[in-house]
Structure 1
Amino acid sequence: MPNMYDSAYELEKSIRNSMEFKELKESYEKVIGNPETNKLFTEFRDTQMGLQEKQMKGEDIDEAEIEEARKVVEQVQQNELISNLIEKEQRLSLLINDINRIVTKPLEELYNFENGQ
């Protein structure tokens, strides 16, 4: 019987070698390789993380912060390199979500069985 950690490392290698990851990496390198785009992307990430952090703490987000976030999102949507990167992130995220569903299937089946479903 294979060691589960060995299987996990094989899965990691498969993800690294996947087309989805390679395309994401290429898109990311284009974004960080362009100083103007990299600055905008960093601002976008910082804005996202700041708002998420406030939400997690249960803090209110004021109108000025919402407006600032809208402006950053508009700029990001107009930037082809960042839009492409976000699209590639979403594709890889879908792949990882599918893998997660497969990996957690035994637990799902166990709990559904125990609950009579």
Structure 2
Amino acid sequence: MSNIQESAHQLEVAIQESDEFKDLKAAYEKVMNEPSSREMFDNFRNVQLELQQKQMQGLEITEEEVEKAKSVVELVQQHEDISKLMEQEQRVNMLINDISRTITKPLEELYSAE
């Protein structure tokens, strides 16, 4: 294993051991262990995926689909456990984005150098 790959593996472990990831995992497990919460969350994710797939295929999203998505989002935002899960997911995404900026910094500096 190369030095860079080894560092990447260490980073993977560090992310899994981070408070952000542990909080996300706990929030996820709480939602998944409650059947009605899980059903609501799965419905939310399915609506999200359907709309993303349509966008990627260049298909038009109907007004009806937009309204359905809005109502599903409003519903999950009112659910305390799912709302907490989404907040924790956002924290992990921010962490990963920060890491990504750090990793890509050498390329950015290379291409911005004159």
TM-score range relative to shorter protein: over 0.9
Task: Give structure 2 stretches of 5+ with no counterpart.
Answer: none
Q: How many aligned positions are there?
A: 113
**TM-score, reference length from structure 2:** 0.96
Once superposed, which parts of structure 1, at least 4 consecutive aligned residues long, lie more than 2 Å away?
none
Q: Please tell me the residue identity of whatever aligns with 2:89.
A: E
Stretch moving more, 61-70 or 15-24: 61-70
Q: CA deviation at 1:66?
A: 1.1
Q: CA–CA distance in 2 between the matches of 1:25 and 1:6?
A: 24
Q: Please tell me the residue identity of whatever aligns with 2:84.
A: N
Task: Give structure 1 stretches of 5+ with no counterpart.
Answer: none
**1:76-107: CA deviation from partner (whole Å, max 9, x where unpaired):** 01100000000000000000000000011100
Q: CA–CA distance in 2 between the matches of 1:12 and 1:68?
A: 36
Q: CA deviation at 1:48?
A: 0.4
Q: Which residue of 1 is the match for residue 57 of structure 2?
A: 57
Alignment of 1:55-94 (within 5 A): 55-94=55-94
Paired residue secondary structure (1:60):
coil
Stretch moving more, 62-71 or 15-24: 62-71
Alignment of 1:1-117 (within 5 A): 3-113=3-113, 116=114
Q: Please tell me the residue identity of whatever aligns with 1:66.
A: V
Q: CA–CA distance in 2 between the matches of 1:3 and 1:63?
A: 51
Percent of aligned positions that are identical: 53
Q: Please tell me the residue identity of whatever aligns with 1:11.
A: L
**TM-score, reference length from structure 1:** 0.94
Q: CA deviation at 1:31?
A: 0.4
Q: Please tell me the residue identity of whatever aligns with 1:104.
A: T
Q: CA–CA distance in 2 between the matches of 1:61 and 1:42?
A: 20
Q: CA–CA distance in 1 between the matches of 2:62 and 2:7?
A: 47
**Considering only aligned residues, what root-mean-square deviation do their CA atoms show, in Å?**
0.9
Stretch moving more, 66-75 or 80-89: 66-75
